[in-house]
Copies of this chain bind each other. A is one copy, B any other.
Amino acid sequence: MATPDRPGFALPLLLLAGFRTLIDDLHAELARQGHAELRPAHGFVLQAVGPAGTTASDLGQRLGVSKQAAGKTVDRLVALGYLERVDDPVDARRKLVRMTARGHDGLRRSAIVFDELRDSWAATLGADRVAAIEDDLRRMVPADVFHLDVPGWFGG
């Protein structure tokens, strides 16, 4: 209703809507699988922490936000049981951020569900069309933007 069949707005709106659709579907399914508290941003954070773990400063750099912001996000994920902080044995300043078992579970399930959602798109659109969308976007999106998993860019 508020929307635009104005030509200029269609493409960005469709990209956003496509992303949102995927994320909504993902979280509906994750909630069913015992991860109701996992918010859209959290998947990207877990992804950025990675299996090896990292530090708050490094996490901030990966996500393109300040170390303070990264620290606060880690606090929340720690409170939810997805991450834990451990002292670095070789550098007393550092605190390693690592995924807990629950964190690993959440991330693993996210990837699986995303795969299923992609398959369901492929079932409607055709696998080649989905692959074509991916190829086209990969060509149009600068690598540094593609490689940025940052959640909060939208409102920043």
A binding-site residues for B, Cβ under 8 Å: 1-4, 6-24, 26, 39-41, 47-48, 50, 62-63, 110-115, 117-118, 121, 124-125, 129-130, 132-134, 136-142, 145-149, 151-155
Contact = CB atoms under 8 A, between A and B. Distances in A.
B115 A7 contact: yes
Q: How often does this chain occur in the complex, in copies?
A: 2
- Find the residue from A4, A15, A40, A141 having the highest chain B CB count within 10 A: A15
28 contacts: A1-B147, A2-B50, A2-B63, A2-B149, A6-B111, A7-B115, A8-B111, A8-B112, A8-B113, A8-B118, A12-B19, A12-B23, A13-B146, A14-B134, A15-B16, A15-B137, A16-B19, A20-B148, A20-B153, A21-B140, A24-B145, A39-B155, A40-B154, A125-B136, A133-B136, A151-B155, A154-B155, A155-B155
A46 B77 CA distance: 35
- Find the residue from A18, A50, A129, A136 having the highest chain B CB count within 10 A: A18
